[in-house]
Amino acid sequence: MVPRVMRVFRHARAAGADRGAVLAIGNFDGIHLGHQTVLTEARARARAAGARFAVLTFEPHPRSVFQPGIAPFRLTPFRDKVRLLAALGVELLIAHRFDAAFAQKSAENFVRELLVEGLGVRHVVVGYDFVFGNRRRGNAALLRGLGEAAGFVTAVVDPVASANGAIYASTRIREHLVAGHPLEAASLLGRPWEIGGRVMTGDRLGRTIGFPTANIGLADYLRPAPGVYAVRVGIAEGGRTRWHDGAANLGWRPTVGGRDLRLEAHVLDFDGDLYGKRLRVAFIERLRAEQRFAGLDALKTQIAEDCRAARAALAGPRPAVDPDA
């Protein structure tokens, strides 16, 4: 599905010309299946009311403000969040700046300034665990009461669980990825988890041993378990994403004395220049842990085996990636 055109604002007042929207509120890190339930509810209410479908989220993620220096933890940095929300039909995205001053805003002022004066909302949709305002004193029940007084309706979406009873939650997804279980993470996300970025110049060692790799910066993405993964590699071409099978190493490259954590993806059956292109690397299955080899010949032999294992893993059932999103 080709994403709909979505307008992005960095402050509620900047979107004031589009008053009367149906608004979903949340951090939405991951846009997992639980988040999608909230967003689907908001979209349905917007269509029924003939109103705009809007989302209010916060950047940077509040955790990075309250815990400066924390290790990278984002499942979907802002660029990914924008892409995924657009694909879900969001028409207005308000990515409100979150800083220490904003964190001091009371729950009542949050509602009055952002929702009523800034956006003039008709309906608001939140998850059951939504909290807001100074010291997180506002919750869904308070929002409903404040909304009644201000003239808008609040819908609270109950928790949603998978078939095995697991509640869809960003924290659980992070735990699966850190443990090296991308398939379990995908079952909660509704799609494979990805790292995206522009291909950087690396050591060019892979090309010399017959397995050229694309080096992708990790930015503020969560660091999953190091190791070798079967992946799908999406290459941006002509405004669309073309997907290819691949094998990727996420690690420190101990065989060649590497000192920094890198994501290096080898695209199977591909012959082309990827430097400077934007790629999406979707993690399908972890094949093995990273290890040190006696030399380049042993490393080359293992990479060939990794590629065979990746082909086998990708030949079976796997979470689907969106070819165009």
- Residue 95 sits in the same domain as residue 201: no
Same domain, residue pair 24 and 118: yes
Amino acid 15: pLDDT: 81
Residues 56 and 115 in one domain: yes
The tally of domains found in the chain comes to 2
Report the DSSP pairing between strands 153-157 and 138-139: unpaired
The answer on 199 and 89 residing in a single domain is no
152 shares a domain with 186: no
> Can you give the CATH number for the domain in which 292 is found?
2.40.30.30
**H helix or E strand, kind and range, residue 196:** strand 193-200
Claim to verify: residue 187 and residue 238 sit in the same structural domain: yes
What is the structure's pLDDT at 21?
A: 96
Q: For 49-86, what is the HEC assignment? A: HCCCEEEEEEECCHHHHHCCCCCCCECCCHHHHHHHHH
Per-residue pLDDT of 231-277, as tens digits, reads: 999 998 888 899 999 999 999 887 776 778 999 999 999 988 899 89
Q: Give 285's strand partners.
A: 230
Domain co-membership, 146 together with 16: yes
Reading the chain (325 residues) residue by residue, the pLDDT tens digits are 334 579 999 988 888 778 999 999 999 999 999 999 999 999 999 999 999 999 999 999 999 999 999 999 999 999 999 999 999 999 999 999 999 999 999 999 999 999 999 999 999 999 999 999 999 999 999 999 999 999 999 999 999 888 888 889 999 999 999 999 999 999 999 999 999 999 988 666 666 677 899 999 999 999 999 999 999 999 988 888 999 999 999 998 877 767 789 999 999 999 888 998 999 999 999 999 999 888 888 899 999 999 999 999 999 877 778 655 4
Cα 65 to Cα 68: distance, rounded to the nearest angstrom: 6
Is 295 a member of any domain? yes
Neighbours of 30 (CB within 10 A): 28
- Closest CA relative to residue 46, chosen from 4, 95, 99: 4
Indicate which CATH number applies to the domain containing 66: 3.40.50.620
| 45 shares a domain with 103 | yes
Q: Who's near 121: CB < 8 A, 6+ residues apart? A: 19, 20, 21, 22, 23, 54, 115, 152
The residue segments making up the domain with residue 268 are 181-315
pLDDT, tens digit, 9 for 90 and up, residues 1-25: 334 579 999 988 888 778 999 999 9
Whether the Cβ atoms of residue 40 and residue 142 lie closer than 8 Å to each other? no
137 and 21 assigned to the same domain: yes
Q: 68 and 188: one domain?
A: no
The verdict on 120 and 249 lying in the same domain is no
Task: Report the greatest alpha carbon distance in the chain.
Answer: 72
| pLDDT the model gives residue 206 | 63
Is 325 among the domain residues? no
- pLDDT at residue number 18: 85
